[in-house]
Chains A and B, each alone.
Chain A
Amino acid sequence: MRHTFEDSLDSLQQDILRMGSLVENMLSKAVESLKKQDTGLAKEVLIMEENTDSLEKEIEQKCLRLIATQQPLAKDLRKIAAGFKIITDLERMADYSEDIAKVTLRLAGQPLIKPLIDIPRMSELAQKMVKDALDAYVREDVELAYRMCKDDDVVDHIYAQIFRELLTYMMEDPKTISQATSLLFVGRYIERIADHATNIGERVIYLVTGEKKELND
């Protein structure tokens, strides 16, 4: 029964996964572009951001239409409610990735004050979190959502390290302050992306259990 509705829910899920994939890709490319100081790659990310923007609007419309036409209840309702929130988190992640790409463009022409090691490390972990969050959503896997949220602590830890290290650079040589603060922002953007991934984890838990849990502190 309700085949049309079931198909629509599946289609919604596919759309969200597609948006998630795009976002993972954006983060990966953005940090890559920074590490290699590749402005071409950075510009690609800016274009990708336009895609995620329109995807978010499209998916939001689909959710509204489902609510208006199908009167979803119980889990169906929670699934659509989760969908609304997840696309917002994904769109924020896309914005942050774009911000990272903009830093690449801003630093173009200057040599990096140090080779980037921790930032890529942090980014890989954040990307894994995004992927896990979306896997948890598709598989309705509450355990995975909880495990993924623990990675957030590691991300925060790396960020603190980056902060301390860049601080010492800035104290030693004021000429590095401009670039160092940009790199600090990048760290912050990745840290925020990881937070949004844990938000998605919280939505998955709500979707499956109907309970609201706070998972990032």
Chain B
Amino acid sequence: MKGTDKVLVSRLNLYYGNTQALFDVRLSLKRNSITALIGPSGCGKSTFLRVLNRMNDLIEGVRTEGEVFIDDKNIYQPGVDVVTLRKNVGMVFQRPNPFPMSVYENIAYGPRIHGIKAKGRLDEIVEKSLKRAALWEEVNDRLHHSALGLSGGQQQRLCIARLLAVEPEILLMDEPTSALDPISTLRIEELVQELKKDYTIIIVTHNMQQAARISDFTAFFLNGEVIECDATEQVFTNPRDRRTEDYITGRFG
């Protein structure tokens, strides 16, 4: 695998029972970059995202064929520890889902499960993660208050901080700002752009302008296939495929 590829997907096919949802997907995702996945509803982009941390395994009847290499290791090989995988490849969802606990406990939860018990160490991790997620300034005086009292945008950043606390390498984001107001959206976009220095990020979005604003690469999915994947600038100014052009110019939904 080339040095710049963090993830390499090869001949990926996925079935929900008898229905095929992903067809021969091949993609390489560069280290420390942001790749946006765009496409109409039902095109397979969220399904594909879940392939990367084997979340689809939790759905009954799903069959995944092909290879997904993260740093040269095929995560679909028998014997792979999916718990470690999901620590390494974290996910943020459309609706923020803080645990019904304090801010502190939300962040400490993951590290605790992975064996860290010393309070000093946990304090450190909590502060570092909240700072990394650009949330520390806003919550450091209410760490032991319920996370449910935070605003939507803050809750989403909390979810990101929670992810970062277990030190992943890859961040998967499934429409992370769809449920947020424009200002919160822009703050998270700024955060994501900061984070790419240290992480490899894949983001599913319905918002074309968002994809254009923050991503380095964009992959266009249609009916379970990747039609085109290229530098974002190229995709949005001069796409190679007619179908990509029609989708991004709104000539079909």
Contact = CB atoms under 8 A, between A and B. Distances in A.
Contacts of B237: 73-74, 77-78, 210
Interface residues of B, number: 15
Contacts of B248: 73-74
Interface in A1-18: 1-2, 5
Interface string A55-84: 000000000000000011111111000000
B127 interface: no
Interface size class of A (residues with CB under 8 A): 10 to 19
Given A71-B208, A71-B209, A73-B208, A78 B252 contact: no
B45 to A, nearest CB: 18
A125 B83 CA distance: 74
Interface string B237-253: 11100001100111111
Nearest to B209: A71
Interface string B7-35: 00000000000000000000000000000
B109 interface: no
B130 to A, nearest CB: 34
B251 A73 contact: no
Given A71-B209, A73-B208, A78 B238 contact: yes
Determine which residue in B209, B212, B248, B253 has the highest number of CB atoms from chain A within 10 A of its CB, and name it.
B248
Contacts of B252: 1
What 6 A-B pairs are tightest by C-beta distance, nearest first? A210-B238, A73-B248, A74-B245, A73-B236, A2-B250, A76-B249
A2 B252 CA distance: 9
Nearest to B248: A73
A2 B244 CA distance: 16
A76 B245 CA distance: 10
B242 to A, nearest CB: 10
Contacts of A71: 208-209
A77 B236 CA distance: 9
Interface in A107-141: none
Interface string A185-217: 000000000000000000000000010000000
B186 to A, nearest CB: 16
15 contacts: A1-B251, A5-B250, A71-B208, A72-B249, A73-B208, A73-B237, A73-B248, A74-B236, A74-B237, A74-B239, A74-B244, A74-B245, A74-B248, A78-B237, A210-B237
Contacts of A5: 250
Nearest to A209: B238
Given A2-B250, A71-B208, A74-B238, 14 more contacts: A1-B250, A1-B252, A2-B251, A73-B208, A73-B237, A73-B248, A74-B236, A74-B237, A74-B248, A74-B249, A75-B238, A75-B249, A210-B237, A210-B238
Contacts of A78: 237-238
